[in-house]
């Protein structure tokens, strides 16, 4: 059995929910898994595992938009914390006899592993942009270029890239393998139903979206707006993993930012999706574009009342398309990971 360092990006909840499934699998296989993370990844994973806190780079949001200048300025001031965390990781590698690094878009574990000449396995969806042949609207070329640069910087020269995607793509880089999305066990076992409420989710308060939905006929349950209680046709709720899951399973449809985890869970559950990407966050724009292209939902550059109502009117059409969505489990990716661990830790 192997001693594994597992780095988990703490930005948002998607990385940690995905990592939890992989870590649980590795533990069942008898491997010793030493987890490092920060922010929401640290909070979420600590409920089930022992986790070492490290420093992590974070995006800066203002009114549901990524602000790159503020992001760069804030992270440029973090050199001391980065050096301290890399030193901590190198010591952890020595103390625990780490044989292999797995990273879910967490850069410091990757860089520490490379410095120690350890094999590194990357598991994420971001490398679909850099390691496969994909298209996207030309008007987003600048954002795409920035996203590609960040992706290459975050996990450079991994021994293998296990890339997840909800659509087919041709792999263009060596040591890259494409798999269906990793889903939580509770999603794989769930029995969704079609309720009457529309589930709304944003990663940071979006008052303009709340005002827009208040003008649309329908019932909405909303997370991420920083408030609670009933306001007109919208029920605002505080963060809750269990509460959100219950609302997701019962939702008529989803209106939300286009984070990979929520998009792929919704598709698996057969829920049409109106994507509202965080502005200038190309990963979400990319997800929204391919969601729309596949016919599983809709994406417009600017949202208004008519477009929301059009989306709601066309729900039967989206549900028909979703009936053919390829629903698969996690076995293929986990099997490949098992093979890589065996090959690299003999």
Average pLDDT over residues 312-321: 98
Q: What is the dihedral of CA 281, 286, 287, 290, to 10 degrees?
A: 160
Give the pLDDT confidence score for residue 255 in this predicted structure.
Answer: 98
Residue 154 confidence class, pLDDT cut points 50, 70, 90: confident
At residue 56, the pLDDT reads 84
Q: What is the mean pLDDT of residues 201-221?
A: 94
pLDDT of residue 113: 96
Q: What is the mean pLDDT of the chain?
A: 92
Give start-end residues of each CATH 3.40.50.2000 domain in the chain: 3-182+330-344, 186-322
pLDDT(14) > 80: yes
Tokens of 289: 């574009």
pLDDT at 147: 84
CA distance 221 to 204: 16
- Cα–Cα distance measured from residue 105 to residue 107, given in angstroms and rounded to the nearest whole number: 6
Q: How far apart are CA 257 and CA 297, in angstroms?
A: 13
The Cβ of residue 295 has, within 10 Å, a number of other Cβ atoms equal to 15
Would you place residue 67 in the very low, low, confident or very high pLDDT band (cuts 50, 70, 90)? low
Domain 186-322 has CATH 3.20.10.10: no
pLDDT score at 20: 97
Contacts of 11 (CB under 8 A, 6+ apart): 39, 40, 41, 56, 57, 58, 59
Q: What is the mean pLDDT of residues 139-159?
A: 88
Q: Report the distance separating Cα 194 and Cα 326, nearest Å.
A: 20
Mean of pLDDT values over 195-201: 97
pLDDT at 331: 97
User: Given this model, what pLDDT does residue 274 score?
Assistant: 98
* pLDDT value of position 71: 55
Say what the pLDDT of residue 136 is.
93
Residues 162-177: tens digit of each pLDDT: 999 999 999 999 999 9
pLDDT of residue 205: 87
Instruction: Give the per-residue pLDDT at 82.
Output: 83
Question: Would you say domain 3-182+330-344 falls under CATH 3.40.50.300?
Answer: no
pLDDT for the residue 52: 97
């Amino acid at each position: 059995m192997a001693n594994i360092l597992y780095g988990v990006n703490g930005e948002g909840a998607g990385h940690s929910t995905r990592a939890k499934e992989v870590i649980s699998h590795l533990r069942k296989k008898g491997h010793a898994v030493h987890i490092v993370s920060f922010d929401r990844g640290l909070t979420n994973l600590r409920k089930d595992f022992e986790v070492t806190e490290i420093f992590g780079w974070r995006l800066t949001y203002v009114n549901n938009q990524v602000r790159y200048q503020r992001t760069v300025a804030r992270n440029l001031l973090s050199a001391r914390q980065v050096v301290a965390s890399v030193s901590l990781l190198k010591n952890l590698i020595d103390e625990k006899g780490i044989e292999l690094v797995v990273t879910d878009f967490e850069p410091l574990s990757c860089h520490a592993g490379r410095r120690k000449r350890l094999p590194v396995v990357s598991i994420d969806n971001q490398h679909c942009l850099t390691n496969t042949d994909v298209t996207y609207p030309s008007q987003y070329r600048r954002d795409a270029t920035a996203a590609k640069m960040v992706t290459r910087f975050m996990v450079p020269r991994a021994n293998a890239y296990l890339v997840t995607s909800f659509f087919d793509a041709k792999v263009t880089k060596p040591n890259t393998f494409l798999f269906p999305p990793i889903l939580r066990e509770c999603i794989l076992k769930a029995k969704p139903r079609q309720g009457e409420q529309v589930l709304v989710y944003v990663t940071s308060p979006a008052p303009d979206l709340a005002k827009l939905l208040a003008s649309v006929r329908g019932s909405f349950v909303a997370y991420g707006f920083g408030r609670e209680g009933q306001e007109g046709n919208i029920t605002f709720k505080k963060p809750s993993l269990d509460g959100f899951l219950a609302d997701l399973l019962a939702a008529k449809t989803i209106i939300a930012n286009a984070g990979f985890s929520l998009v792929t869970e919704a598709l698996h559950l057969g829920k049409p999706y109106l994507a509202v990407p965080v502005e200038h966050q190309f990963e979400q724009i990319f997800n929204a574009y391919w969601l729309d292209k596949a016919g599983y939902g809709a994406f417009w550059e600017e949202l208004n009342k008519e477009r929301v109502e059009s989306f709601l009117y066309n729900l039967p059409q989206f549900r028909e398309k979703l009936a053919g969505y390829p629903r698969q489990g996690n076995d293929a990716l986990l099997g490949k990971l098992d093979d890589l661990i065996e090959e690299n830790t003999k």
